[in-house]
Chains A and B, each alone.
Chain A
Amino acid sequence: MFKKSKLGISTALALVIGASAAMADNIKIAFIDPLSGPFAGTGANGLNQFEFAAETLVNAKGGVLGGDKFEIVAFDNKISPKESLIQLQVAIDQGIRFIAQGNSSGVANALTDAIEKHNKRNPDDRVLFLNYSAVDPALTNEKCNFWHFRFDANADLKMDALTDIMAQDKSIDKVYIIGQDYSFGKAVAAAAVRDLGNKMPNAEIVGNELHPIGKVKDFTPYARKIVASGANAVITGNWGADMLGLGKAVLENGYTGPIYTYYAAADGITAAFGETGKGSLRLVSEGQLNPPVSDRAAEYVKAFKAKYPDGNVSQSRITNTIEMLAKAIDGAGTATDVVAIAKQLEGMEHENLWGGMLKMRAEDHQVIQDVHVLAHTNEGVTFDYDNSGYGLIAENTVKMAGMDSPTSCKMKRP
């Protein structure tokens, strides 16, 4: 009997503690991204980075508003826009006011529309959309709205920076553009054609084509065309298996020039390229790991690797998202009035953990930051990817890329 009642008491106690923990004012951020299916690897890695950033950059420093902690709540959207809208509703019903999403611009487009409608109809429980990775330019141009903030450089800004750096290399005179046949692939191709035409009028575009996304088993025929075209630079927006397949086929079939990519790193891709990619693979991206820009950045990566030995700090913008949100909440003095928080975010300037400054442009809610061209190599790499010894090292940097780039955004403010 005695034992039984003791068990009963401890159960009751546990319930009380559980309830009080839930009652403490945690500021919840809904993470809506793929956690199952073919893109689960990317989603899960992003979730780890979010949780780690919230823990180390906010909670360990005493939280916001004098003690409130950030809590990341994960929702699996299976990378489907339809599923994302359901998860968004679930998150809103749970009283969550901050929605973070990044993988796939298709999902981001659906979410930004849904959030705009929701906020219009429910002024009492409005939410903010923190887009940390979806780079479709439309989101901060014709489809922009007051509730959407983008912390990654969009596809146009990246292409602008990339072509700035390509234009310095006078040996490039034949460029081949290849990508996946969907909105992002087409956006990259259009931006490349436009920017190359403006900045490198002497360079000829010897190929511009799209291949079916996730359907090509063997990229050898595409590689043959690229080699046969005599191209001495390749630009691609491919990601995942399509990136690895294309890159390997091109390099193994005799191409030796640079391959400029958006996403050829981490999630196993760096390790799989290994020696093959050295000297050719380039990445245009925000945030540099190598060489580390500061002790603080180095400490952060070390601590992350200690907690997730198989993980990568592959999306440095995630730390910016968390830090800027915390700063905005503190500045607004509230975690529930998202209009006040959004007004704090607008125009916010913040020191980037990965070097340089961040500026959230008020007119279109696009972060302006340094964009780098990174090279895949194993020399001078302090922090590798996939524990492979290979990593990315910053070769060129465009400071505050696209600071005065035009936007067609006409934002309606509440």
Chain B
Amino acid sequence: MDLILVNLIDGLVTGLLLFMLSAGLTLIFSMMGVLNFAHASFYMLGAYFAYQISLFFGFWMGLLIAPVIVGVMGAGVERYGLRRVHQYGHVPELIFTFGLALLIEELVQFLWGKNQMPYAVPEVLHFTAFSIAGNSIPAYKIFMIFVSLAIFMALLFVLTRTRVGMIIQAALSYPKTVEALGHNVPLVFMGVFGVGTALAGVAGVIAGPVLGTFPGMAFLLGSIVFVTIVIGGLGSLWGALVASLLIGWLTTFAASYNVAFADILTWIGFTMPADLDDSMWRDLWTLTMPQIGPILPYLLMVLILVFRPHGLLGKREA
């Protein structure tokens, strides 16, 4: 029972982190209709920039400055890269972002090398907030939860309660009409792209110390972010939140409980073959939940695409 509570908290942390990445991506996706393959690369850049800044000015300056740099870079990419490629259609845009992701990874390896970076949790937050039955919850995790929630609130407020948010939402669905009304839609696109990448940067800054800062970190998280926005529904902020938390808890609980497939199959009513080596289902019988945990979100995505193609809370088809 205690472990369930601990897993709920761990899953929440993972989910909220995923949300910070998917929130920006889902807005960009629904706006431009293009998967930004380089989104997770901006997450990685956030971690590396923050590490570099933290060497000179400490963690907190890194948290403030790194996302801004990443956001400006993102806006620059939209203004001088994507906008030019946009006229040639979606496929060139896709290839452009894909190339950008590779480029950023190589650049990071060139500048910082291929090793792990010693980017650490700040001293102030390096203590145990509380323990549940011997499982300590580090204060840094609580900090991560609060930062993510604050960003979600701010984002929700801007998108639904302000004039800027209204224009963004209108530009998402009817860019031509909004442009005809005299709004600078390209500027809106650039702004959203910049803010979206800055959010990915924030995620990188706070995830770097716990999940490791290394050149493979973008690749490791990249695919799962796409899964999140497809499950949540394209362009839906709430959908991104729900899907992120769902995936966070799904992967955490799957890794936590050693449920063996043999037990499930027996419970359903199958009998275990006497000699497993002869059985063609041998792999299925010997599987355990932690082994397949990381692929569960992909399974969920397939199911969602089959039964509810517009995602949990989305309004249009993927």
Contact = CB atoms under 8 A, between A and B. Distances in A.
Given A224-B3, A253-B138, A254-B134, A241 B115 contact: no
A211 B212 CA distance: 18
B117 A253 contact: no
A38 interface: yes
B211 A221 contact: no
A225 B114 CA distance: 31
A214 B220 CA distance: 8
Contacts of A217: 14, 211, 220-221, 224, 251, 294
A221 B10 contact: yes
Interface string A210-233: 111011111011101101100000
A41 interface: yes
Given A241-B212, A252-B210, A272-B212, A221 B291 contact: no
A221 B288 contact: no
B169 interface: no
Interface centre among A44, A222, A268, A269 (most CB of B within 10 A): A268
Interface string B112-151: 0111111110000000100101111010000000000000
B131 A254 contact: yes
B46 to A, nearest CB: 16
Contacts of B309: none
Contact of B115 (A252, A253, A386): A386
Contact of B216 (A38, A220, A222, A248): A38
A249 B210 CA distance: 8
B294 A221 contact: no
B255 A254 contact: no
A127 interface: no
A310 B117 CA distance: 13
A370 to B, nearest CB: 28
Nearest to A225: B256
A372 B256 CA distance: 33
Contacts of B210: 218, 248-249, 252
B7 interface: yes
A244 interface: yes
A268 B3 contact: no
B118 A388 contact: yes
Nearest to B138: A252
* Residue of B13, B134, B212, B216 with highest tally of chain A CB at under 10 A: B212
A218 B291 contact: no
Contact of A268 (B13, B118, B255): B118
Given A212-B291, A221-B256, A222-B255, A228 B135 contact: yes
A181 interface: yes
Contacts, number: 122
A228 B3 contact: yes
Contacts of B255: 211, 216, 221-222, 225
Interface string B280-291: 000000001011
Contacts of A252: 136, 138, 210
Given A217-B211, A253-B136, A267 B116 contact: yes
A241 B116 contact: yes
Q: Name, among A181, A212, A217, A267, the residue most crowded by chain B CB atoms within 10 Å (CB to CB).
A: A217
A209 B215 CA distance: 27
Interface string A255-292: 00000000000011101101010000000000000000
B221 A310 contact: no
B22 interface: no
Contact of A269 (B7, B13, B116): B116
A245 interface: yes
A40 interface: yes
Contacts of B136: 252-254
A23 B6 CA distance: 68
Contacts of A274: 118, 120
Nearest to B18: A217
Interface of A: 38, 40-41, 44, 181, 209-212, 214-218, 220-222, 224-225, 227-228, 241, 244-245, 248-249, 252-254, 267-269, 271-272, 274, 276, 310, 386, 388
Given A38-B215, A41-B113, A267-B115, 17 more contacts: A38-B114, A211-B255, A212-B294, A214-B216, A214-B220, A216-B255, A218-B10, A218-B251, A220-B10, A220-B13, A221-B253, A225-B258, A227-B134, A241-B116, A248-B212, A252-B138, A272-B213
28 contacts: A38-B114, A40-B114, A41-B115, A209-B258, A211-B255, A211-B290, A216-B255, A217-B14, A217-B251, A221-B7, A221-B10, A221-B251, A221-B252, A221-B253, A222-B290, A227-B135, A228-B3, A241-B216, A244-B116, A249-B210, A252-B210, A269-B116, A271-B117, A271-B118, A272-B116, A274-B120, A386-B118, A388-B118
**5 nearest interchain CB pairs?**
A268-B115, A41-B114, A268-B116, A221-B255, A254-B136
